[in-house]
Amino acid sequence: MNANLPPIQKVLFDEATIQKRIKELADEITADYEDILAIIVLKGSMFFATDLLKHITVPVEIDTMHLGSYGMKGMKSEAVRLNNDIVSSIEGRNVLILEDIVDTGKTMKYIHELFALRNPASVKLCSLLSKPSKREIEIDIDYLGFEIPDAFVVGYGFDYKEKYRTLRDIVVMEPE
């Protein structure tokens, strides 16, 4: 590991645990749908989404959207910014949003409000992680991988200053 980065504290979910849970989620989703328009929320969700979607056996179309934030991450004043919208029309489609984590809920509120204007047949959310201790807005998560405590996690898509996303495990990082 880079000596300039904070140390890793412990493995929260190892690769096998993550992949086992993803297969379970994919089976549940497959049972509930006849077809899916999957929207991958970049960048963090890309690893989770590609692993999940490979296990889904009903027809899937994929689109991506890239969201970020104005202001300091973790601050109350932080607001969601749409960096890149999806290209597809979601009108009449069964949309499944794929997120890596729901923290405050601001990102999901933003997406729900945006999509509500576009007349989809249905919109559901699949999130790998949820951190309920951080929630400011109530969000229904239809398919959830794991609930986590108020810890800073990196790996498997989660970053610290854009580093660590490519780790296969999800690990807890010591705060600076």
How far apart (Å, rounded) are the C-alpha atoms in residues 122 and 39? Answer: 13
For residue 40, list its beta bridge partners.
64, 98
Look up 85 and say whether it is catalytic.
Answer: no
Contact 146, 128 (CB under 8 A): yes
155 binds ligand PRP (CB under 6 A): no
Q: Which two tokens stand for residue 134?
A: 């951080």
Q: Which two tokens stand for residue 32?
A: 């509930």
Of the pair 30, 131, the CB lying nearest ligand PRP is at: 131
Least Å distance, CB 172 to ligand PRP, is 16
How far apart (Å, rounded) are the C-alpha atoms in residues 93 and 88? Answer: 10
Least Å distance, CB 57 to ligand PRP, is 26
Instruction: Kindly identify the residues of this chain, within the stretch 37-56, that bind ligand PRP according to CB under 6 A.
Output: 41, 43-44
Q: Which of 35, 51, 63, 103 is catalytic?
A: 103
Binding site for ligand PRP (CB under 6 A): 41, 43-44, 67-69, 99-107, 159
Active site residues: 103
